A and B are shown apart, each in its own frame.
Chain A
Amino acid sequence: MKSFKTVFASAMAPLTASVLLACAAASANAAAVIQIMSRDSAGVGFNDPTPVAPVGGNPGTTLGQQRLNVYRYVADIWQQSLTSDIKITVSAGWEALACTATAATLGSASAWNIWHDFPGGAPGTWYPQALANKLSGVNLSADIPDDGSGYGTVDIKTQFNVNLGNPGCLDGTPFYLGLDGNAGTKINFVETLLHELGHGLGFAVLTDTSVGYRIAPDGSAYVASGGLPSIWEGFMYDNTIGKTWLQMTNAERKASAINPLQLAWIGAQAVTGASQTLGAVPSIKIATPAPGYAGYYPYGTASFGPAVVNPGAFGVLAVVPADPVNGAGCVAFDAATTAAVTGKVAIMDRGSCAFVVKAKNAQNAGAIGVIIANNSAGAAPGLGGADPAIVIPTVSVSQADGATLKAGVAAAVKYGSRSQPGAMSATFATDTSRRAGADLAGRPLLYTPNPRVAGSSVSHWDVSAFPNLLMEPNINSDLTTTLVPPKDLTVPLLRDIGW
């Protein structure tokens, strides 16, 4: 039988109900208190007695103690970032989650209860329970009997993979339970838990992004009509349609969820934070005598070839013609194309063959660099692949920018002389008028790739954000535990919704 004992109430002294009430009366800005509640049986998870050596500032000497110490460490980070007079409860368990030898579910988390139409909240709007409790000043689940699970009324439910690193479950790669970020080849549990608790505290849209439906007022299902918006929707502004999600139809929300780089978060805290956090956009800076083409064009980088040096030189652009049969740049260049690209940066469309094939063919023809123009809507993609023989830099641009650059190359010709045709030249620079991961107005962008990435779209920051943010869909290895500007935008977004 499972023992639903409280593992650790708080870094602060446990508060009695009377003290909590007194605090509520005295201040609406008390630091939050997060209580971790274990679901683990004896000998399992937090109770695993396996001896281990202290690691990375985690003093635990059993596996269970170290797991608990990380939970407490992460909860303390969140406590210091948020205010609430109502204790935040997190149910935690270590379970056998799905995994293979090369991939694993690390864990999962979410708000476990949600509320609408409580005192202090926006009418007819869904909130996660922890936030609803803060805004209403009471524990809305206080008088609700448990559902038999032992954790039915908690704010957040979490579970993580008890088998990670064992044979058949991402063999040999367990969680790193140190607190210093030096995870090496292991999985940094601190960052993973920070991210997932962020979702549970309110970093989630609570609207079905695949169809645009909202949750019914009784919480039973996503429904086509009559559902209630979440507190997120008023802050989600689509630059294409010129509406917030609050103002959209189901179809419009569905379309907005796959409108790359156009869905901005317009909450004041996050917008201000973006100006302090997000860096200038790395770009190709174009100079040309032809009017209308000079300027900055954001680029994506490649996993092959030399790293781009920014700021730095690139070269004069030359177009590799379309090849409907083989794909542009997919076979050895003919004499005319070779003559055109020798000593220049070859720009060609994506498609039909690997990026490394295109780059290698351009290099063999004498090009000094490559630009690959995307062949579908969206941002300049990252270019994967590997070929150690490639020694020239390769970058990508968006489909729209690629079309402009190719047209610009042709337009520049007439601005030269018969012996020296006009040319379009490129350097690597940063566009200080724009921020990486923000729209033209400087508002941080939500993740809306097209096609939709199942399960990841919308409730994360866009992957174009630089530096990397905690709440991007990819949990990157260079994250810190700072959740506020100038390092991160997680807390500003949460403050926008009421935290």
Chain B
Amino acid sequence: MVRTINSYPRAAVSGLVLAAVAALAVPAMAQDAPAAKPEQALPVDTSAGQIVVRDATSGQLRPATAEEAQALRDQHAKGRLRVAPQATLARYHYSGARGARLTDEFMNYSVVVRQPDGSLKEFCFQSREAAEAALKSSPVVATQTAPTE
């Protein structure tokens, strides 16, 4: 027997720039999303009036502008994709053993970065976030390997 269980909340959700009280009609995380459809978008209420933000000047809550609402939705969607790209699956064996099929979030990633002197350095990371960060800021990776000051 195989059943779908909760999504894996390994990756941190980035904090919202806007201090929002979101009334979006989506759960905070796709706890019940089946593994086979991790990329499927959940319903989103497009009414900007249902999203409030704390005004940077007055400090008061007010309805979001269209731009603020869209930015929040974009950020929410990104966060949800990072949090629950796939769900683990529980495993059972007649012997009483229990297990789980993991997800790509558990992968070890090999990354190679060309150094300023043209040489290549190869690194192993244990999360996609770390690997992607290394790709985006390869000079930082080089610095971590051999600091210059």
Contacts and interface: CB of A to CB of B under 8 A. Distances in A.
Interface of A: 98-100, 102-119, 129, 132, 136, 138, 140-141, 143-145, 147-148, 152-153, 157, 170, 173, 185, 187, 192, 195-196, 199-200, 204, 208, 215, 217-222, 303, 350-357, 381-386, 453-456, 459-460, 473-475
Contacts of B36: 147-148
Given A195-B110, A220-B8, A474-B122, A98 B97 contact: no
Contacts of A136: 95, 97
A303 B98 contact: no
Interface string B85-107: 00111110111111111101011
14 contacts: A99-B135, A103-B112, A103-B113, A115-B93, A115-B97, A118-B95, A118-B97, A119-B95, A218-B90, A218-B98, A219-B100, A220-B100, A454-B129, A455-B127
Given A108-B110, A220-B8, A454-B127, A152 B146 contact: no
A473 B131 CA distance: 12
Contact of B122 (A192, A356, A460): A192
B10 interface: yes
A148 B97 CA distance: 23
B147 interface: yes
Contacts of B6: 220-221
Nearest to A188: B122
Given A221-B9, A475-B123, A144 B98 contact: no
Given A102-B113, A109-B108, A136-B95, A455 B89 contact: no
B148 A117 contact: no
B90 to A, nearest CB: 5
Contacts of B10: 208, 221-222
A353 to B, nearest CB: 6
Contacts of A132: 97, 99
Contact of B143 (A144, A222, A384): A384
A257 to B, nearest CB: 12
B110 A107 contact: yes
Contacts of A108: 104, 107-110, 128, 131
B95 A219 contact: no
Contacts of A219: 5, 88-91, 98-102
B127 A147 contact: no
Given A113-B91, A141-B99, 13 more contacts: A99-B135, A105-B109, A107-B109, A112-B102, A117-B96, A147-B89, A147-B101, A157-B107, A173-B120, A200-B108, A220-B6, A221-B8, A453-B144
B145 A382 contact: yes
B97 to A, nearest CB: 4
B16 interface: no
A386 B119 CA distance: 14
Of B95, B101, B114, B135, most buried by chain A (CB within 10 Å of CB) is: B101
B111 interface: yes
B97 A105 contact: no
Contacts of A153: 101
B100 A354 contact: no
B88 A110 contact: no
Contacts, number: 219
A455 B125 contact: yes
A106 B112 contact: yes
B149 interface: yes
Contacts of B130: 453-456
A383 B110 contact: no
B81 to A, nearest CB: 15
B102 A381 contact: no
Contacts of B122: 106, 187, 192, 474-475
B13 interface: no
A103 B102 contact: no
B20 interface: no
A100 B91 contact: no
A232 to B, nearest CB: 13
B66 interface: no
Contacts of B96: 117-118
Nearest to A109: B108
Contact of B108 (A110, A140, A215, A351): A110
A451 B17 CA distance: 26
B126 A105 contact: no
B91 A474 contact: no
Nearest to A449: B144
A450 to B, nearest CB: 12
B45 interface: no
B61 interface: no
B146 A204 contact: no
B131 A456 contact: no
